[in-house]
Amino acid sequence: MKTAILMAAITALFMLMGRLLGGQSGMMIALLVALGMNFFSYWFSDKIVLKMYKAQEVDETTAPHFVRMVRELAERAKIPMPKVYLIDEAAPNAFATGRNPDHAAVAATTGIMRALSERELRGVMAHELAHVRHRDILISTISATMAGAIGMLANFGMMFGGRSDDGRPANPIAGILVAILAPLAASLIQMAISRAREFEADRGGAEISGDPQALASALQKIHRISQGVPLEAAERHPETAQMMIMNPLSGGGLRGLFSTHPSTEERVERLLALAVGR
């Protein structure tokens, strides 16, 4: 249901942009584009995101310890074993993607492998497998792909303007407003869904690993290191930031206000409360 709501919201946003930039015909073209992108996103968005990050699939030959860890946690979570990927990035981070638990993948940066202890890394991967178990991965991946498409459409409107129904140039102020507000609206849609999802994945990850304190410690360490080590792929593709265990673009000002992730402090506080209650 969440995926259907997201697709409907993105489609409506596409149509509104098409209407403002190209009148009635622009709205119909935008509808066709949105339907095509929704179909494409459902089947291929996970592959697109993994390619964006130049993720390399690993197995028990190339990364035996890490793959065995994921396999054991997947068994504890009672989900199929996902594909496992590594990303050659110094920044510590991880994400899950795919359209359902039977077609899922988890990815981690080489930076997180170096920065965390084995216990902390188990907590992080348990968090990502909780996303898989909760079926968050489809909506996360689709929203990342569609938000990127909205950004491109907004840039197109800024560069080339639009046409009204009678063929005259569209109002340039409307074009500017679309270019500014459409990506903001896409971000708000992502934010509304993502923050609650992260709390649930923290709780689920703590349950799968059986160690809430390890995940809390990992989040604190990732947050601290990420302040000085940017995730370069996320800088190039900011629409994918909401997929990560820690927002790699977090910061002050509007970026912090519209972050797709809850604050690290609140996440840690909730995890430590779970540890006390165990």
Catalytically active residues, by annotation: 128
CA distances from 161 to 57, 122, 174 (A): 42, 50, 9
166 is written with which tokens?
A: 């009678």
Distance, in Å, from the CA atom of 196 to the CA atom of 166, rounded to the nearest integer, reads 45
User: Reduced to 3 states, what is the DSSP secondary structure of residue 58?
Assistant: strand
Sheet holding 83-87: strands in order across? 56-58, 83-87, 103-109, 94-100
Pairing outcome for strands 94-100 and 103-109: antiparallel
Question: Which residue bears the tokens 């689920």?
Answer: 204
Asked if 121 contacts 68 with a C-beta cutoff of 8 angstroms, the reply is no
Residue entry with tokens 């970026």 = 255
User: What b/e string do you get for 106-118 counting C-beta neighbours within 10 Å, with b at 16 or more?
Assistant: bbbbebbeebbee
- Rounded-to-integer distance, Cα 56 and Cα 7, Å: 29
Distance CA(209)–CA(20), nearest Å, equals 50
Under a CB-based contact definition with an 8 Å cutoff, are residues 166 and 26 in contact? Answer: no
Instruction: Find residue 163's DSSP bridge partners.
Output: 169
